[in-house]
Every structure is written in structure tokens, then in C-alpha cells.
Amino acid sequence: MTEKPAGAAEGVDSVLAALADPTRRRLLDLLAAQGEVTATTLAGSLPVTRQAVVKHLGVLDAAGLVSGTRVGREVRYSVQPAALGATARWMATLAADWDRRLATVKRIAEAAERESRPPETPR
């Protein structure tokens, strides 16, 4: 199994946990499309309350996926792609490990199949 460095493990785990919720994934989509926006603006596009949006943004913020900047009395949120990049790199490494394992299984299976065939007779 692919090991994650200790610090990276916590970051990847928190990103995956945050992305497990469809509302939070939708929030990231909206933020990516709209840029820096308020929780009130985001709530207008979702079937949840502003308070629920703020809680979801808190989870995304703790995972390093969004950040909030105070502008006067408002907090404007934006996507922070670095945490996604680290998670994507971990997933790519994991996928490459599985690709190598599957290629080995395929080679072994093909070799076993060749060995189990009766020899061809010349015509």
C-alpha cells in the first residue's frame, strides 16, 4: 500500500473527508466558478440555509480547501487549490501503484495461459 508522509496523511485525510459531502463539493464548484463570494451569495444557489453554508465552509477551511477574507462586515470565501493538488498527487501515486500491480497480474495470467495450451501441431 502507498504510504503517505505523516504531515501529508492528515492533509489528504481532511481533504477527502471534506469532499465526501455533496454540498461541500457543490460549494467548491460554485466558488471556482464565481471567484471570491460571501456565504449569503453561495446560499442563494443551494437548498440549504446560510448558517449551513457557513458550517460547510468551516469544514472546507479546516481542510485547507477554501479561505475567508474579511472585507468590512462581510467574509468573502475563495478556493485554495494547494490542498487539492496534494491530494491529487497522492491519488495519482496510488493509481500508479495499482496500475503496476495489475500489469504484473496480467503478465502472470498470460504466461500461465501460454503454458497451459497444448503445443500446436505442424500441418
In this prediction, the residues of the chain whose per-residue pLDDT falls under 70 are 1-9, 123
pLDDT at 115: 86
Asked if 36 and 42 count as a contact pair (C-beta separation under 8 A), the reply is no
pLDDT of res. 119: 75
Q: Is the pTM of this model over 0.75?
A: no
Q: How far is CA 5 from CA 2, 12, 36, 85, in A?
A: 10, 10, 32, 15
CB 38 within 8 A of CB 77: yes
Q: Could you say which architecture CATH assigns to the domain 1-118?
A: Orthogonal Bundle (1.10)
Mapping DSSP to helix (H, G, I), strand (E, B) and coil, where does residue 77 land?
strand
Who contacts 8 (Cβ-Cβ below 8 Å, separation ≥6)? 86, 90
pLDDT of residue 8: 60
